[in-house]
Amino acid sequence: MRPIRVLFGYALACLAAAVTLVLFVYTPAELAGLPRDAIGERLLEASSFALSVTRYVAVLAALPALIAVGFGETRGIGAWIFYVLVGVGIAALGFLAQYSTEAPGQPTILRNYALIAFLTAGLVGGLAYWLLSGRAARRPGQGAPEAAAQAPAVAPGGSAA
């Protein structure tokens, strides 16, 4: 079940990161200012764009995410901060990769708005992964922390303590 949980979490984290990026293009303020008859069309356009961006996010984040998730799963790391930092780190790598491919003298991505968009998308993606999959990461033989906290202690004689 673990591989299915990890893949499901990764896919939805990529979707969450892509939606976050798209919300920096189609801002909520812009959408709120549209006439009622144009909102549906603009939301459909933004949704289609988010699905397209999801593919790129998934492909570009695959290797670093595989390494980080493999590390987190084998070490039993279920802390939200780990996955958020990983998401932000992957987003920073993506931002730097995009910046490094720019031609000299051309308009650059190196702007605060783009950097904030990438880092926010990484934060949201990492948090989404943790919510959907990462918090269940534990070492083999290690029980679920929630179940251990809720189970009553049983004394050696069989009665609950």
The pLDDT of residue 140: 57
Please give the Cα distance from 74 to 138 (Å, whole number).
Answer: 7
Please give the Cα distance from 31 to 46 (Å, whole number).
Answer: 10
Beta-bridge partner residues of 160: 154
Please give the Cα distance from 17 to 133 (Å, whole number).
Answer: 15
pTM over 0.85: no
Q: Are 22 and 53 in contact (CB under 8 A)?
A: yes
Q: Are 110 and 101 in contact (CB under 8 A)?
A: no
Q: pLDDT under 70 in the chain at which residues? A: 109-110, 139-161
Name the residue ranges covered by the structural domains of the chain: 2-150
Mean pLDDT of all residues in the chain?
Answer: 86
Residue-wise pLDDT for 32-63, tens only, equals 898 988 888 999 999 999 999 999 999 999 99
Tokens 């934060």 sit on residue: 123
The pLDDT of residue 151: 47
